[in-house]
Amino acid sequence: MIVTRFAPSPTGRLHVGNIRAALHNWMWARRHGGRFVLRIDDTDADRSEERFVEAIRADLDWLGLTPDVQVRQSERFALYQRRFDALVAAGRIYPAYESAQELDLKRKILLGRGLPPVYDRAALALTEADRGRLEAEGVRPHWRFRLDHDAPLAWDDLIRGPQSFDPATMSDPVVRRADGSWLYMLPSAIDDIDLGISHVVRGEDHVSNTALQLQMFAAMDAAAPAFAHTALLTGAEGKLSKRLGSLGVDHFREEGIEPAAVRSLLARLGTSDAVEPVVDPAPLIAGLDFARFGRAPARFDEVELQQVNARIVHQLDHDAVADRLPAGMGAAEWQAVRPNLSRVAEAADWWRVIEGPIDATPAEADRDYLAQAAQVAATLDWSAADIWSRLTTALKASSGRSGKALFLPLRRALTGLDHGPDMAALLPLIGRERTLARLGHAG
């Protein structure tokens, strides 16, 4: 079974980059009838907050990316401890006693010599007596995973293609701090094994992590998942933008952006496929193909998102938005004004146009014409479906006006605006009494 996971840390709100990763993992699981796992990476007790856990869940629900399984790393420490103990016994994890200051000095010396700042494995040369003496002095070790320098780190990335790293050029990663708390690398690999994760879709900033984790999977006698590393997002200006880190569900909701618009844009961003505004995500899911993702940074543009949003709004049925419309605004009114909206909230503006009162002061040259229009409108059968056509046809014959001179004064008098929804749809909603009142007032 295809099993994917999204693994945010509850140290803040989800931003657009997180959302994109969650979407890709959710889509891949849905495409293959698999499972989508939400793993809350809350091993850092000092920085993790319950309010962010709840916010992450709420944001995913709003986006329609509800997980099939939810787990929290803070509830899985016993599992991590068992795997850790086994790896220590096998010699793949070892204690190291350097302080942060000592490690920083080592890095600076290496860099000063023009060498890569790779950990020198000095801790492996310590004898049992050395370790005992250090611990007697109160020095508590941190723990590193020992890389096998004879085992090349290579995999075929679903997006980036063949990848290869030389483990001899990489530091043995720290997997546990001196206070016993866990870092990201080892618990994540343990969870991927335990949860049966088949595919990991994440940003390209994790590529080097993947290289290191491959040996962790091997050390635990487990097959590694397939990996797909997406190019990072850039802002509209073409550079990595700090603003992207502040754009999340709260911002999108405040801007009137629909979940379907976010899905539609982020699903295709960075691929060779055109963005397709769809309410139902089924076409996006069916078309997901990692081979169509490029390696160039993907450009996220809020203006493009707003354009996609307008096209989504134009597809929404009344039932989907009824709870966000003004009281009394029914399906007919929604259908009439929908083509002119870029956000659902804008429907309220057109509801005020329909219900009135409106502020319309006609040009002096149009007053007699509008008075004539009121007289004609009073004689028409308002139960007819084509009342606007009947009104304008009669006025054309009686006034001699045509084109803009015929239609624009009527629109202005009836709506207070020069543009808007099709008057053939709008006029029956304004109705006979309000129409006569507005035309008569204008005249």
Q: How far apart are CA 212 and CA 155, in angstroms?
A: 11
Q: What is the mean pLDDT of residues 64-79?
A: 97
What are the tokens at 286? Answer: 């069916």
Helix pair angle (50-63, 16-31), 10° resolution: 60
The predicted structure's pLDDT at residue 348: 97
pLDDT band at 239 (very low <50, low <70, confident <90, very high): low
The predicted structure's pLDDT at residue 235: 87
The predicted structure's pLDDT at residue 236: 74
Which of 16-25, 73-82, 236-245, 302-311 comes out lowest in average pLDDT?
Answer: 236-245
- Give the containing element (helix H, strand E) for 197: none
Region class of 20: left (phi > 0), else alpha (psi between -120 and 50), else beta: alpha
The predicted structure's pLDDT at residue 441: 78
Q: What is the mean pLDDT of residues 243-256?
A: 90
Asked whether residue 408 carries a pLDDT value surpassing 70, the answer given is yes
The predicted structure's pLDDT at residue 283: 96
- Give the containing element (helix H, strand E) for 299: strand 298-299
The predicted model scores a pTM of: 0.91
Asked whether residue 443 carries a pLDDT value surpassing 70, the answer given is no
Contact 363, 409 (CB under 8 A): yes
Asked whether residue 62 carries a pLDDT value surpassing 90, the answer given is yes
What are the tokens at 411? Answer: 């629109």
Contact 345, 256 (CB under 8 A): yes
Asked whether residue 377 carries a pLDDT value surpassing 80, the answer given is yes
The predicted structure's pLDDT at residue 384: 87
Contact 156, 120 (CB under 8 A): no
Region class of 434: left (phi > 0), else alpha (psi between -120 and 50), else beta: alpha
Length of the chain: 443
- Give strand pairing partners of 290: none
Asked whether residue 329 carries a pLDDT value surpassing 80, the answer given is yes
Mean pLDDT estimate for the chain = 95
Q: What is the mean pLDDT of residues 326-354?
A: 96
242 carries a ligand binding annotation: yes
- Domain ranges in the chain are 318-355, 364-442
Q: How far apart are CA 316 and CA 318, in angstroms?
A: 7
Nearest C-alpha neighbor of 189 from the set 94, 83, 318: 83
Q: What is the mean pLDDT of residues 260-285?
A: 96
**Top-tier CATH class for 364-442:** mainly alpha
Q: SS in 3 state form for 361-425? A: CCCHHHHHHHHHHHHHHHHCCCCCCCHHHHHHHHHHHHHCCCHHHHHHHHHHHHHCCCCCCCHHH
Contact 197, 3 (CB under 8 A): yes
Q: What is the mean pLDDT of residues 399-405?
A: 95
pLDDT band at 241 (very low <50, low <70, confident <90, very high): low
Per cent of the chain over pLDDT 90 is 93
